[in-house]
Structure 1
Amino acid sequence: MEASLGRFLADMALDPSHLAAFLQDPDELMKRVNLGEEERLVVQSANPALMSDWLCTERGGPASAPWNCPVLAVLF
């Protein structure tokens, strides 16, 4: 089963060892946690707007009410 992008990002924010592993070898960590190919591309883009869009659309969250998305609340 593929890991979700939201879970992956939350783990990096909450677990220093997860963040350290990402900084050391991002591709290895994304493979190890079984992040899907599309989600890997989103992470590799390093584009916060794309990540927010991914998390706050039908792929990962409430597309009809993006202002309720916690990621957008942090960015604005």
Structure 2
Amino acid sequence: MFTMPEYHGKGHAKTILNKLENWVKEEKDSVSILETGFMQKDAIHLYKKVGYEVTENFEQYIGVENSICIKKRIIF
């Protein structure tokens, strides 16, 4: 996901993330795994702030040096 700089700090990214997590619940899944680039410091900060933790890269991101995967257990 990406938010334009003029929308930073206004809660839009968190709203999108909440909708994603609700979708995970609707699908009866228990884990949300996201991928971002290691230079996306704001994204990584947001994800960690709401409970995501860095995990091993999965599938197409294995071996991609500038990729970070981050996951969160979703409770429903």
TM range, normalised to the smaller chain? Answer: 0.3 to 0.5
Looking at secondary structure, tell me which structure has more helix per residue: 1
**Normalization by structure 1: what TM-score?**
0.32
* Structure with more relative contact order (C-alpha pairs < 8 Å, separation 6 or more): 2
**Normalization by structure 2: what TM-score?**
0.32
Looking at secondary structure, tell me which structure has more strand per residue: 2
